[in-house]
Structure 1
């Protein structure tokens, strides 16, 4: 099966691509940009969409999460000297009840679930043998030349119902990294303060940033994980998105760390009788398993040591230009909540590039020596897709019109602008109320408030 690339070769220059990325922000993306994935993954997405009725946005984002977890602590990307990012993501799949949110995520993590099943069976066998040895008398062990071995530990990747103490213990047994999968994110977040006020929220803020996990509890052995990796994914209904913004979560940076997938027009589908072929399932399992088989080395202190990938020269230039463009968006954003969200995309984009590069490697389309330009291009597309979704969620959580967050002079200007206007017309209106031309043109660059419909012609979004 062949797929036509979305990008024409004529725009494969850093300057042209940054301009293209700017255009992406100005319009609603109908679907997840599937073209960023290798051909094998695009084929799997198409098959699950056609035969299992998985919404494209949901299965694509779910695969992104599964690849993040499959990479774990094996690799990091170095953006600059001292600035390294792992592949951790916090993903929220948003939709109405019955819109097939959970099944795509279950499909995507199935190879990891299978790995956990094998690990559990091995643990049960080892634990049974261990218990039998411990139950023997010292005389019996001596006569048979048996010493008490170390107690077996369960090495698992996924957790759904847990305390922070249990989570840290499981992670200490699997320094490669673990994933959290919760079918209802709202319930998970509601329980943040069930044991101690604020501590669980701080844990998840720190984990996303890669800060060490240090636990000293009387009830368990001390834990020190200097290189943690915990990715999170789950589903949430549109109607309870407001739960995410409570307890200051829309102000402390937690929401900024989330990646939301909230497509429009998703409806419950009729029963599909087609099903998916074993060949497609096997192909997907092979790709994810190839990433899972890699293990990080351990240093002299027993901490996981990640391989580090850097951008090649062209990719580095492209990322730098996108980064500077994002800084301009942040500096010109009048909504502090949104500007905080935009700032986190500097890290998200680097992580996306790492995920795409290693997924391409697992699919046999590239190497794992450097982050190349294709991966950075794809990362930028993912970022702008998630930026639009973040804006949608932000407006729901804040329960207000984004215009209300503007300074009064810009609110007044926005009201006086016609629904569609030219740059020249806008400048005249701005100057009539003592807003300089330069200030107006900076305001005009806000993709949250304006759509560019033609050269020099704009349309208000509210």
Structure 2
């Protein structure tokens, strides 16, 4: 019996009805939707991961070639900081590899060109040294990132193997943190590095994408150490409805569908790289009105909850970035000139904003359930109940944490620092807020 065929609209409708994914796949070009559905059906890829990775690849391809201007005081580049959240072994990396295939192929081509140029380079002839063109990097230092960006004004994507490693690496050996510098990069503000031990580099229009994966319990740990500087509010979390591994499909992947995806993404990237100057586009009156209405809908929930306020303030800006990516993408693949942000692109951007807002709330919920909840499932709660008294020492907490959860000393201090279930009294003394529950 032949497999029943569905239109993209019908297929996406079934996805939503079966609660497989809430990612608004229908906002993307048809060839990307086809690749996403094919990889979901026959490669056992999680739909959210491949969708989020494809969105990231579009942003990375556009780079600094297009910005969107809301008004004279406000413009945005298309950079996205996307983090795939899932359980260990849930295959978060493979979707990124497929989605970024055109970009990694191009990087291999640029590497070969650089090697050939260096082989023929003779410093004695007075010729300028060849520049190493980079589209992405896995674990750059901040100084090397700025140097790469200076040589590649199109923009750089950071693709860390593990997002946690990237975040941990923001704190140097001397204890100094680069988080504030990365916040400036996200803002698109001019930035420079003038350290004595590194080559000076100044970037007028930074455009840094980030895409990576992390385990759900690890992201909760990282957020527990958040310094409330807005770093995590800048992350776009891709969180599947079902955090589980999928069975391997017996049907082979349709290689033609994936080849079409890679080929079209290659053409898109080549077109963007071939543009010598960046363009700044505005919003159509309809898109501007819709954007303002959506921002106004955020005021009341923001005033009620500071966490929600932090998330929505960044998503206000991301809405413009989403609309820019979707507009440029739509125009290119429909052979239309890019003029301004259409009402349709803004509507689709709002759909994306809603998806990522819901996921940001999920991440907060994951942290609560993993570490802070006053339930038997909460790790801190269980430790405090095992201690069994209102006041206790950090040493007692460490001993119980090791005994119950096999948690080490440094991790125990992290849990103590969360603060919602414990109150620090001073000199290693704490008060339990759950004693007697």
TM-score (norm 1): 0.73
Query: Which residue is equivalent to 1:58?
Result: 49
SS at 2:245 equivalent: coil
Query: Which residue is equivalent to 2:424?
Result: none
Distance 2:174 2:55 in 1: 32
The CA deviation string for residues 286-311 of structure 1, in whole angstroms up to 9 with x for no partner, is 3322332224877xxxxxx5211212
Query: Which residue is equivalent to 1:212?
Result: 190
Distance 2:180 2:245 in 1: 37
Distance 2:242 2:69 in 1: 39
For the Cα contact (< 8 Å) 1:5–1:35, is it kept in 2?
Answer: no
For the Cα contact (< 8 Å) 1:87–1:355, is it kept in 2?
Answer: yes
Are 2:318 and 1:348 aligned? yes
Among 343, 365, 376, the alignment partner of 1:373 is 343
Are 2:329 and 1:359 aligned? yes
Are 2:360 and 1:382 aligned? no
For the Cα contact (< 8 Å) 2:49–2:238, is it kept in 1?
Answer: yes
The CA deviation string for residues 202-224 of structure 1, in whole angstroms up to 9 with x for no partner, is 12111110112201132343211
The CA deviation string for residues 10-32 of structure 1, in whole angstroms up to 9 with x for no partner, is xxxxxxxxxxxxxx9xxx99421
Bigger mean CA offset, 170-179 vs 185-194: 185-194
For the Cα contact (< 8 Å) 1:186–1:243, is it kept in 2?
Answer: no
1:231-270 correspondence runs (5 A):
231-249=209-227, 251-270=228-247
1:358-437 correspondence runs (5 A):
358-364=328-334, 367-397=337-367, 399-400=371-372
Change beyond 3 A, Cα 1:117–1:256: same
Unmatched segments (≥5 aa) in structure 1: 8-23, 139-146, 299-304, 403-462
The CA deviation string for residues 167-217 of structure 1, in whole angstroms up to 9 with x for no partner, is 111111100001000121111111211234343111211111011220113
**Residue 319 (structure 1) shift:** 1.2
TM-score (norm 2): 0.77
The CA deviation string for residues 380-436 of structure 1, in whole angstroms up to 9 with x for no partner, is 11111111110011233354469xxxxxxxxxxxxxxxxxxxxxxxxxxxxxxxxxx
- Give the CA RMSD over aligned residues: 2.5
SS at 1:84 equivalent: strand
For the Cα contact (< 8 Å) 1:296–1:306, is it kept in 2?
Answer: no
Query: Which residue is equivalent to 1:325?
Result: 297
Change beyond 3 A, Cα 1:374–1:6: farther
Query: Which residue is equivalent to 1:226?
Result: 204
Among 110, 113, 116, the alignment partner of 1:122 is 113
Q: Which structure exhibits the higher relative contact order, with contacts defined as CA atoms closer than 8 Å and separated by 6 or more residues?
A: 1
For the Cα contact (< 8 Å) 2:216–2:366, is it kept in 1?
Answer: no
**Residue 314 (structure 1) shift:** 1.6
Are 2:2 and 1:4 aligned? no
Are 2:85 and 1:91 aligned? no
Bigger mean CA offset, 255-264 vs 276-285: 276-285
Unmatched segments (≥5 aa) in structure 2: 1-5, 375-437
Query: Which residue is equivalent to 1:306?
Result: 278
Are 2:155 and 1:177 aligned? yes
SS at 2:170 equivalent: helix
SS at 2:36 equivalent: helix
Distance 1:91 1:365 in 2: 28
1:46-195 correspondence runs (5 A):
46-130=37-121, 133-134=122-123, 147-195=125-173
For the Cα contact (< 8 Å) 1:74–1:296, is it kept in 2?
Answer: no
SS at 2:150 equivalent: helix
Bigger mean CA offset, 216-225 vs 116-125: 216-225
Change beyond 3 A, Cα 1:6–1:373: farther
For the Cα contact (< 8 Å) 1:259–1:390, is it kept in 2?
Answer: yes
Distance 1:184 1:90 in 2: 14
For the Cα contact (< 8 Å) 1:357–1:375, is it kept in 2?
Answer: yes
The CA deviation string for residues 146-168 of structure 1, in whole angstroms up to 9 with x for no partner, is x2311111101010022111111
Distance 2:207 2:363 in 1: 26
Distance 1:208 1:97 in 2: 28
Distance 2:116 2:202 in 1: 28
Distance 1:346 1:167 in 2: 27
**Residue 367 (structure 1) shift:** 4.2
SS at 2:51 equivalent: helix
Change beyond 3 A, Cα 1:93–1:150: same
Change beyond 3 A, Cα 1:56–1:69: same
- The total of aligned residue pairs comes to 362
